[in-house]
Amino acid sequence: MKGLLKNLGLILIVVAAIILIVCSFTGNVNNNVILGTSAALVVLGLVSYIVLNKRLTD
């Protein structure tokens, strides 16, 4: 469980990247909801990666 929690930020960033890749292949790049969701996942993943790794190492 601790290992999954430690990698939660990276998982969120990978999910956001997969969403962007799928949207690129389907040609659905003008949908602001999908692009905003993936941008929010990237930011949330980055913040959670920093915060969780700082707390789990202490």
CB of 46 closer than 8 Å to CB of 13: yes
Domain of 26 in residue numbering reads as 2-57
What are the tokens at 49?
Answer: 């990666």
Q: What pLDDT is stored for residue 58 in this prediction? A: 57
Burial class (CB in 10 A: 0-12, 13-18, 19+), 46: middle
Let me know: does 45 contact 7? Beta carbons within 8 Å.
no
Mean pLDDT by 10 residues, the chain (58 residues): 81 94 89 92 94 79
In the chain, how many domains are there?
1
pLDDT number for residue 20? 93
pTM equals 0.84
